[in-house]
Amino acid sequence: MSNEENAKQEENVQQEENVKQTVDSAKNIAGGLVSSFLGLKEKNPKVFYGSIGGVAVLLLLMMTMGGGGSKPTISGPVLKDLAIGQRYILKSANAYDPSATVRLVATPGAIAAYDDTEEADRSGACQHIPQGTPVSVVEFADAYGKQKTYAKVKIEDGECKGNEGWALAIDVQ
């Protein structure tokens, strides 16, 4: 073996001994802290249990404080301020399918009680209007303590042109 190899081996041995000494000293320090903390239980139990309670309160505060200043924004359909006589399009606020339709009914409250399990309800004339159909707003109805919840629309284009019906105002955009 050369002198360089011997020197490298000696360095490695010294480094391993230093690491072992550091680990041992860390263990001794941790053991000393734990034993002094447990000794505090014997000498002064009020301080011992008070410090445990203080740490618990701090942890509880940190967990309930939240994650910072930026909160995620909730995106979704926005209720526009519709105006009578203006032209809009029908767009279902709750559907991601482009082939979904918007339901028009004869009275504003009938949408909440709507059940289209019968085939006749699905194939009725001018009840299910495709999204993107141009309409104009004729009047509004309030419901559930909110103004302009329902909008009466007149269809401006397509095979149902001129027909009127009630839709949810959020579906008129």
| pLDDT at residue number 164 | 92
Domain ranges of the chain: 3-64, 87-171
CA-nearest of 133, 146, 143 to 172 is 133
**CB neighbours (10 Å) of residue 128?**
16
Greatest mean pLDDT among 2-6, 19-23, 70-74 lies in 19-23
Residue 91 reports pLDDT greater than 80: yes
Is the Cα torsion angle 29, 31, 33, 39 positive or negative in sign?
Answer: negative
Q: Is the model more confident about 36 or about 86? A: 86
Give the whole-number percent of the chain exceeding pLDDT 70. 74
CA-nearest of 128, 77, 132 to 101 is 128
Residue 116 reports pLDDT greater than 60: no
Average pLDDT over residues 131-157: 90
CATH class, domain 87-171, is mainly beta
